[in-house]
Amino acid sequence: AQKVTQAQTEISVVEKEDVTLDCVYETRDTTYYLFWYKQPPSGELVFLIRRNSFDEQNEISGRYSWNFQKSTSSFNFTITASQVVDSAVYFCALSAPNTGNQFYFGTGTSLTVIP
């Protein structure tokens, strides 16, 4: 069975602080994909990044970075120098061909950046 756990329900940081959002996944498949989505207060779900199980390279995109570690089944998301516009709910998700490529979402982490 596929499972994604986001243990942090809510996080508050002061603007310009760095913050890491944790994501731990469970799967028995060797081929799978991991994703992060952002849901700002306006409500839409915005795709941020995908990673496949064969690529453990970390990725950096501006102030965003992602750390994928198969050894700990984690796919953590770091925002550097946080800004008020980063306030949102962030979802981690897992999919795998063996389960029809449907997404298994975590429960989300609500991030509030205080000015």
> CB burial class (10 A; 0-12, 13-18, 19+) of residue 82?
buried
> Any contact of residue 102 with another protein (CB under 8 A)?
yes
Side-chain half-sphere of 13: how many Cα atoms within 13 Å?
22
> Any contact of residue 62 with another protein (CB under 8 A)?
no
> Any contact of residue 52 with another protein (CB under 8 A)?
yes
Quote the least distance from Cβ 91 to another protein, whole Å: 7
Binding mask 73-92 for another protein (x = CB under 8 A): ------------------x-
Alpha carbons 22 and 104: distance in angstroms, whole number: 16
Choice from 25, 35, 77, 90 touching another protein (CB under 8 A) = 35
> Rule CB under 8 A: which residues touch another protein?
33, 35, 37, 43-47, 50, 52, 91, 95, 100-103, 105, 107-108
